């Protein structure tokens, strides 16, 4: 009996030893924390001092990034393009997300890249402006109907108030603006010649000296930069419609939720001392939405843009 008991006991020990034991559940491995590594990129155009422009705009890029962390944004960058063509490529490819400029270059970039207007910028404390056509009061020119065969001085080729708006205004009123090589060039009947002075101050001086028949500047320059006694010798013969002073554009791939947050950040900048300081390099005091909505503002602007391009 004892031998049998020992055998049975040994058999039970071997059975337990050979039975697979249930493994203890491993400790759960914590999910790695995903760092926000994407960047929000602000863009501007400046061929003269791109490094200085980066230094001016970097603080606002950093501030914007801080407020976009929920979208995986971990930092802000600034990219300065040497020309409009480069900015079009960057906006189209997503290398630049936010671009702030005056209306005409903004429209060029938007039409070339698919970028969309987001907010209106109050440059110099003014939300809107327009172009004014002015002449010497004794010139004998009293309106647009007298402009055939005359020479006009514009600012430059990418100016909103000093090229796009007045040119569209002339075309829409049945006139035929033609660029000329110089202020001394011959202007044929049925043409309105124009040349670029490269500066509003030059345009004013060219009219006062009789070098050109007509000058075009924005209404703010006319009212604020021309002394009152000088304005007494001048007459405004036509004015264009009002348009936004500046436009904040966003890239075509920015979704609605992120776009709304970008707008909220920019519209809140003027509410704090820090935000006001960040706005200073932009020469802007505040941002707001387009009155009546984007389409109401930009549909007629697109028509002006198309008139100038087709012309």
Give yes or no: residues 195 and 217 share one domain.
yes
Question: Can you read off the two tokens belonging to residue 311?
Answer: 């012309």
Greater model confidence, 98 or 15: 98
Please name the helix (run of DSSP H) or strand (run of DSSP E) that holds residue 185, with its range, or none.
none
Domain that holds residue 162: 128-243
CATH code of the domain covering residue 166: 3.40.190.10
Which residue carries 């006001």 as its tokens?
A: 276
CA-based nearest residue to 168, from 211, 223, 104, 113: 104
The predicted pLDDT at position 95 comes to 97
d(Cα 152, Cα 175) in Å, to the nearest integer?
13
Give yes or no: residues 229 and 137 share one domain.
yes
d(Cα 206, Cα 195) in Å, to the nearest integer?
11
Question: Can you read off the two tokens belonging to residue 155?
Answer: 């600012």
Domain count, the chain: 2
Greater model confidence, 78 or 22: 78
Q: Residue 42, class by beta-carbon neighbours within 10 Å (0-12 exposed, 13-18 middle, 19+ buried)?
A: buried
d(Cα 104, Cα 247) in Å, to the nearest integer?
10
Give yes or no: residues 208 and 65 share one domain.
no
The predicted pLDDT at position 120 comes to 98
Does residue 29 belong to any structural domain of this protein? no
Task: Name the least confident of 17-26, 43-52, 155-164, 253-262.
Answer: 17-26
Other CB atoms closer than 10 Å to residue 273's CB: what's the count? 7
Greater model confidence, 200 or 11: 200
d(Cα 230, Cα 219) in Å, to the nearest integer?
15
pLDDT at 6 over 50: no
One DSSP character per residue, 217-240 reads EEHHHHHHHS-HHHHTTEEEEEE-
Greater model confidence, 236 or 30: 236
Give yes or no: residues 221 and 91 share one domain.
no
């Amino acid at each position: 009996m004892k031998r049998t008991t020992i055998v049975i006991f040994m058999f039970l020990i071997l059975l337990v030893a050979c039975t697979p034991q249930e493994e203890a559940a491993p400790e759960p491995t914590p999910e790695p924390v995903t760092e926000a590594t994407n960047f929000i990129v602000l863009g501007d155009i400046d061929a003269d001092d791109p490094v200085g422009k980066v230094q001016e705009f970097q603080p606002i890029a950093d501030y914007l990034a801080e407020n976009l962390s929920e979208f995986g944004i971990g930092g802000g960058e600034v990219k300065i393009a040497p020309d409009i063509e480069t900015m079009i490529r960057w906006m189209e490819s997503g290398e630049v997300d936010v671009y702030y400029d005056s209306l005409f270059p903004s429209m060029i970039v938007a039409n070339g890249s698919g970028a969309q207007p987001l907010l209106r910028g109050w440059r110099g404390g003014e939300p809107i402006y327009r172009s004014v056509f002015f002449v010497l009061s004794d010139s004998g020119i009293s309106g647009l109907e007298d402009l055939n065969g005359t020479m006009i001085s514009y600012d430059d080729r990418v100016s909103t108030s000093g090229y796009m708006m007045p040119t569209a205004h002339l075309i829409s009123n049945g006139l035929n603006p033609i660029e000329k090589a110089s202020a001394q060039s011959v202007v044929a009947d049925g043409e309105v010649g124009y040349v670029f002075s490269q500066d509003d101050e030059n345009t004013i001086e060219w009219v006062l000296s009789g070098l050109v028949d007509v000058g075009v500047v924005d209404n703010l320059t006319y009212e604020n930069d021309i002394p009152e006694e000088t304005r007494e010798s001048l007459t405004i013969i036509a004015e264009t419609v009002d348009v936004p002073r500046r436009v904040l554009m966003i890239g075509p791939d920015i979704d609605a939720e992120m776009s709304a947050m970008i707008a909220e950040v920019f519209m809140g900048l003027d509410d704090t001392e820090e935000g006001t300081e960040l706005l200073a390099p932009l020469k802007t005091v505040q941002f707001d939405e387009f009155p009546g909505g984007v389409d109401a503002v930009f549909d007629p602007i697109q028509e002006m843009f198309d008139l100038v391009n087709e012309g």
